[in-house]
Amino acid sequence: MTRFIDLHLHTTCSDGISTPKELLSQVRHSGVGAFSVTDHDTLVGYHAIKEMLEPNDPELIPGIELSALVADKDLHLLAYCFDPLHEPLLERIDDFQQKRNIRGQQIVERLQSLGLKISFDSVEKLADGAVIGRPHIARAMYESGCISSYEEAFYKYIGNDKPAYVHKAKITAREAIKLVHDAGGVAVMAHPYILQMVSHIEDLAADGLDGIEVYYPTHSNQEISYLNNIADRFNLLVTGGSDFHGRPGKDSAIGSQSVPIELLEKIKVCAQTIRGNN
């Protein structure tokens, strides 16, 4: 059995570049022993890959990366080992998807009122059924010639606090944690440093947070050891992954964080305890 896992991967069903089929093939070549597809606010990629699995494939762990709020700040909440058919979770995700669509339309309307020639149709076409996010809008803007680089979309128009930015519907961290627990899964804070969430770990642990993502491409050794200490102190699970989006030259490879497979056993035990308490 392979010793490493990767619990943070994206597909074209959210903002990744690899289709579910391509991701599965990349995972097969990466040599990881288990993996989780954690698309933003959707389980479509997870279900697609589950359908394609063959007997000798690495183990697929149910996963998702939920957009949540804590103290008015963005929190990415990873969930693992939940029941992927849990009705209240699916309803919530559906609702999210509809609201993201509406928000995408609002962003496009703002861009149009700023004089840019871009249509929501082109964004939808590009998203090809995926949950619509700003990366799709940025790509549509680039392809329609409104801007000369993908990044320009963010620093001029759709970055946080820029003129065409519209907030995304989010649930509170507490709500999201409860939703995940009700579905029998564990709730994990994604990349605590990227969203400046380290100072919120203690409060969230009191609200039921089960773990933190310690192994992550941008984390320094010092940050990793600091997070490991916090996990110890608050009795939190330790997880990790590459946050692979398939972008050439930008993303760490699948399995690059050398997350030990032993951590997965602890995650599973925690999920079992949660289910036992439901």
134 binds ligand AMP (CB under 6 A): yes
Q: How far is the CB of 34 from ligand AMP (least distance, A)?
A: 24
Q: How far is the CB of 252 from Fe ion (least distance, A)?
A: 12
Q: Which residue is nearest to Zn ion (CB)?
A: 15
168 binds ligand AMP (CB under 6 A): yes
Q: Is 128 left (phi over 0), alpha (psi -120 to 50) or beta?
A: left
Interacting residues of 264 by C-beta distance below 8 A, sequence separation 6+: 5, 7, 34, 61
Burial environment of residue 110 by CB neighbours within 10 A (0 to 12, 13 to 18, 19 or more):
middle
219 binds, among ligand AMP, Zn ion, Fe ion, none (CB under 5 to 8 A by kind): none
How far is 167 from 75, CA to CA, in rounded Å?
Answer: 14
Q: Is 58 left (phi over 0), alpha (psi -120 to 50) or beta?
A: beta
Identify which of 132, 133, 164, 160 has the alpha carbon closest to the alpha carbon of residue 147.
164
For tokens 């000798």, what's the residue?
56
76 binds, among Zn ion, ligand AMP, Fe ion, none (CB under 5 to 8 A by kind): Fe ion
Q: How far is the CB of 14 from Zn ion (least distance, A)?
A: 6
Q: How far is the CB of 219 from ligand AMP (least distance, A)?
A: 17
Residue from 24, 158, 179, 190 that binds Fe ion (CB under 5 A)? 190
Q: How far is the CB of 264 from ligand AMP (least distance, A)?
A: 25
Stretch of 18-26, 63-71, 131-139, 266-274 lying at the interface with Fe ion (CB under 5 A)? 63-71
Residue 45 or 58: which CB sits closer to ligand AMP?
45
135 binds ligand AMP (CB under 6 A): yes
190 binds, among Fe ion, Zn ion, ligand AMP, none (CB under 5 to 8 A by kind): Fe ion
62 binds ligand AMP (CB under 6 A): no
Residue from 109, 121, 128, 151 that binds ligand AMP (CB under 6 A)? 151
Residue 75 or 179: which CB sits closer to Fe ion?
75
Q: Which residue is nearest to ligand AMP (CB)?
A: 133
- Interface with Fe ion (CB under 5 A): 65, 76, 190, 243
Name the site residues for ligand AMP (rule: CB under 6 A).
15, 40, 133-135, 151, 154, 159, 168
